[in-house]
Amino acid sequence: MNERGLIEIIKSITKSRFIGDDCAYLKELGITVTQDSFVEGVHFSLDWMTPYQLGAKAIKVNISDILASGAEPVYCLVALSLPGNLGEGFVEEFYRGMQAGAASTVIEGIKPVEIAGGDLTGGDKVFISISMIGKVGKRNISSRRNAKPGYKIVLCGQHGSSAGGLRLLEQGRQDVNELVQAHFNPTLYPKFALTISDNIQTPYAMMDTSDGLGDALFKIAAASGVTICIDFEKIPYNKKIEIFSDWKNLVLFGGEDYGLVAALPEVYCCTTDGIVIGEVLEGGTAPLIVNYSGSIIKYNSVDEFTFNHFLH
Amino acid sequence: MNERGLIEIIKSITKSRFIGDDCAYLKELGITVTQDSFVEGVHFSLDWMTPYQLGAKAIKVNISDILASGAEPVYCLVALSLPGNLGEGFVEEFYRGMQAGAASTVIEGIKPVEIAGGDLTGGDKVFISISMIGKVGKRNISSRRNAKPGYKIVLCGQHGSSAGGLRLLEQGRQDVNELVQAHFNPTLYPKFALTISDNIQTPYAMMDTSDGLGDALFKIAAASGVTICIDFEKIPYNKKIEIFSDWKNLVLFGGEDYGLVAALPEVYCCTTDGIVIGEVLEGGTAPLIVNYSGSIIKYNSVDEFTFNHFLH
């Protein structure tokens, strides 16, 4: 069982116009919406993360999806299920973390996301599911189907750090604190996202790199029927992950950095503070081509490098 | 630990204007939103319910909250977490159930709720969290704070059946099929809700009876600072629950019937197909007064009769 196969089943039953992008754009209501879950033992361990860190990360992950749609994150609902023994202290710290996470992503002219309600239930394990609403206003909303040959690939955020931090945690190490902190407390890029969506006059693609940069690029290329070609050397990363022999895989395929990657006409690239790492070509046999300092690798699939929840 | 205490903590941290009603009314966006979770072992057992039944009930429970707000349910997002061994068959049947549940609540002039996306993850237990969006348009939105002395209490739906059905299931019995079916497949009342919200010109209170009729009445009375007085005899119920010696408690406090109860000026009561079961009085010492065929019981609290997730 894998997520893609299940999503195909869901599409065939619901015949939904929306399933495909991380956010659904509900034009009639002028909003984009998303919902993401965090399951103890799958997405996090309470041995590693405090309730405060968990709250901050859970809300930021959803803010990131709304930003990637090009909308302004405005409201969220929070479903929290937790064992009775965790009690008031857990709830209090979790909500304080969410407030801090929401406040940390504020830029000029934008208010912090407001928690508008939710649901609190018992359960054997901690389960969190946050739904987030983004206001569209006059902004232009992205879709992963919108990349076109000739567009440039623009990226913001360092990549690989969060996956490196997670590996340290799994090894019982916290010796490279910057990487562990990148895993606990990702940086978001509201200015990058909203500068693009405020200004662009043409269809464009944008995704966050929550499942890895390579996965986001592959999904955009596949959904748009194009090939994306990037220079590995141009991807910003923290040199400390070079302690891992497979660090290049962490940079390209490690998840949970929550950078943003967009495919835009060249004329809009200079309006962002991102870095151009590649370009969009006509669709070929491989959706993703990576130039590693002259060695070219063509990826027909990225499945072996990405995370499958159902194997865990 | 109880839910009310935790909600107070959440209110004090978030300072949210919205927490209090089952739906948040986001005026700026013209929508009401809600999110409810279903946790295996807390809200349902896979020994009793098929994935199809679970899907139908999960979506209906959220539709019910939106209807109680007075809005038209239009879109939902679905977070589903499930163990890897359940596989494609589970997902397919669950989604088919959701589609059927959405279709079953359609009335003239209203389209079925559309599934606009969501999230699929692994996990040890089945966990479902659905967020639902209601469109306000020109409708008047309810709040549990809006009951006023002189208003009438109007009810639709039979009460006690679902709790009776659950008790049979817990006893390993399915001999009174109507009750078990009421638990698996609750009836919703879109016409009752939308007739009120389309026509009413004054503030009013409306809630669904998901946590029991007595709980809903108590919450409305407490939030509005009034006393609600009802005649037990007027509450519609299925006589088959009289097999239980405490059937009166099931009628008043049993959960998951998903009827609707409203506090309205008398002039609007006749526009609904509901039954007037009582009235709103000035606030007194007890928020809820029930007349059991001449025996008056004043309830200062309903906690002992209602469900606490954290004890399970």
> Nearest CA of chain B to the CA of A292: how many Å?
33
Tell me the C-alpha distance between B92 and B72, whole Å: 26
Specify the pLDDT at position B127. Answer: 95
pLDDT band at B33; cut points 50, 70, 90: very high
Our count of domains for chain A comes to: 2
Q: Which residues of A touch B45 (CB under 8 A)?
A: none
> Nearest CA of chain A to the CA of B174: how many Å?
26
A143-152, B14-23, B138-147: the lowest-pLDDT one: B14-23
Residue B26: how many other CB atoms lie within 10 Å: 21
> Nearest CA of chain A to the CA of B18: how many Å?
5
How much is the average pLDDT of B248-258?
A: 95
Q: Which residues of A touch B34 (CB under 8 A)?
A: 77, 117
Q: Is the pLDDT of residue B5 over 90?
A: no
pLDDT tens for B148-177 read: 999 999 999 999 999 999 999 999 887 888
Of A135, A169, A204, the one marking the end of a domain is: A135
- Residues A131, A175: one domain? no
Residue B299 inside a domain? The answer is: yes
How much is the average pLDDT of B191-205?
A: 96
Residue A8 inside a domain? The answer is: no
CB A57 within 8 A of CB A128: no
Specify the pLDDT at position B9. Answer: 86
Cβ distance A81 to B125 less than 8 Å, yes or no, reads no
Q: Which residues of A touch B127 (CB under 8 A)?
A: 37, 39, 81, 123, 127, 129
Cβ distance B9 to A34 less than 8 Å, yes or no, reads no
Q: Is the pLDDT of residue B60 over 70?
A: yes
Residue B14 inside a domain? The answer is: no
Give me the residue from A74, A88, A117 closest to B18, CB to CB. A117
Specify the pLDDT at position B203. Answer: 98
Residue B104 inside a domain? The answer is: yes
A195-204, B244-253, B287-296, B300-309: the lowest-pLDDT one: B300-309
Cβ distance B121 to A1 less than 8 Å, yes or no, reads no
How much is the average pLDDT of B272-276?
A: 93
- Residues B181, B292: one domain? yes
> Nearest CA of chain B to the CA of A278: how many Å?
30
Cβ distance A33 to B133 less than 8 Å, yes or no, reads yes
Cα dihedral: A94, A97, A98, A103 (round 10) = 170
Best A9, A310, A311 residue to mutate vs chain B (most B CBs within 10 Å): A310
> Nearest CA of chain A to the CA of B67: how many Å?
17
CATH code, domain carrying A54: 3.30.1330.10
Specify the pLDDT at position B1. Answer: 61
How much is the average pLDDT of B15-26?
A: 86
Closest-CA residue of A relative to B35 is A118
- Residues B129, B165: one domain? no
Tell me if the pTM is above 0.90. Answer: yes
- Residues A201, A256: one domain? yes
Tell me the C-alpha distance between B248 and B240, whole Å: 12
Best B2, B14, B95 residue to mutate vs chain A (most A CBs within 10 Å): B14
Of B83, B107, B135, the one marking the end of a domain is: B135
Cβ distance B37 to A119 less than 8 Å, yes or no, reads yes
CB pairs under 8 A between A and B: 222
CB A29 within 8 A of CB B32: no
Residue B86 inside a domain? The answer is: yes
Residue B199: how many other CB atoms lie within 10 Å: 12
Cβ distance B42 to A81 less than 8 Å, yes or no, reads yes
Of B104, B135, B166, the one marking the end of a domain is: B135
- Residues B128, B234: one domain? no
- Residues B110, B198: one domain? no
Best A11, A14, A90, A114 residue to mutate vs chain B (most B CBs within 10 Å): A14
- Residues B175, B296: one domain? yes
Cβ distance A13 to B75 less than 8 Å, yes or no, reads no
- Residues B47, B185: one domain? no
Best B7, B13, B44, B143 residue to mutate vs chain A (most A CBs within 10 Å): B13
Cβ distance B117 to A74 less than 8 Å, yes or no, reads no
Closest-CA residue of B relative to A121 is B309
Owning domain of residue B199: 152-311
3-state per-residue secondary structure call for chain A: CCHHHHHHHHHHHHCCCCECECCEEEHHHCEEEEEEEEEECCCECCCCCCHHHHHHHHHHHHHHHHHHHCCEEEEEEEEEEECCCCHHHHHHHHHHHHHHHHHHCCCCCCCCCEEEEEEEEECCCCEEEEEEEEECCCCCCCCCCCCCCCCEEEEECCCCHHHHHHHHHHCCCCCCHHHHHHHHCCCCCHHHHHHHHHHCCCCCEEEECCCCHHHHHHHHHHHHCEEEEEEHHHCCCCHHHHHCCCHHHHHHHCCCCCCEEEEECHHHHCCCCCEEEEEEEECCCCCEEEEECCEEEEECCCHHHCCCHHHC
pLDDT band at B10; cut points 50, 70, 90: confident
Q: Which residues of A touch B121 (CB under 8 A)?
A: 37, 39, 42-43, 309
How much is the average pLDDT of B253-273?
A: 93
Give me the residue from B5, B21, B121 closest to A39, CB to CB. B121
- Residues A240, A289: one domain? yes
Listing DSSP states for B166-201 in one string gives HHHHHTT---SHHHHHHHHS----HHHHHHHHHH--
CATH code, domain carrying B224: 3.90.650.10
Q: What is the ipTM of this complex?
A: 0.91
Give me the residue from A6, A87, A312 closest to B1, CB to CB. A87
Specify the pLDDT at position A65. Answer: 97
Residue A144 inside a domain? The answer is: no
Best A7, A65, A127 residue to mutate vs chain B (most B CBs within 10 Å): A127
Residue B169 inside a domain? The answer is: yes
- Residues A128, A182: one domain? no
Specify the pLDDT at position B7. Answer: 82
- Residues B96, B178: one domain? no
Q: What is chain B's mean pLDDT, rounded?
A: 93
Cβ distance A37 to B127 less than 8 Å, yes or no, reads yes
pLDDT tens for B99-132 read: 999 999 999 889 999 999 988 898 899 999 999 9
> Nearest CA of chain B to the CA of A205: how many Å?
18
Give me the residue from A16, A30, A123 closest to B29, CB to CB. A30
Name B109's Cβ contacts closer than 8 Å, sequence gap at least 6: none
> Nearest CA of chain A to the CA of B66: how many Å?
13
Residue A182 inside a domain? The answer is: yes
pLDDT tens for the 312 residues of chain A, in order: 677 788 888 888 888 888 778 899 999 999 999 999 999 998 899 998 999 999 999 999 999 999 999 999 999 999 999 998 888 899 999 999 999 999 999 998 899 999 999 888 988 999 999 999 999 999 999 999 999 999 999 999 999 999 999 999 999 887 889 999 999 999 999 999 999 999 999 999 999 999 999 999 999 999 999 999 999 999 999 999 999 999 999 999 999 999 999 999 999 988 888 999 999 999 988 999 999 999 999 999 998 887 655 543
Cβ distance A88 to B119 less than 8 Å, yes or no, reads no
- Residues A67, A118: one domain? yes
Nearest in space to B235 (alpha carbons), one of A229, A301, B216, B178:
B216
Closest-CA residue of A relative to B30 is A29
Residue B71: how many other CB atoms lie within 10 Å: 29
Closest-CA residue of B relative to A134 is B29
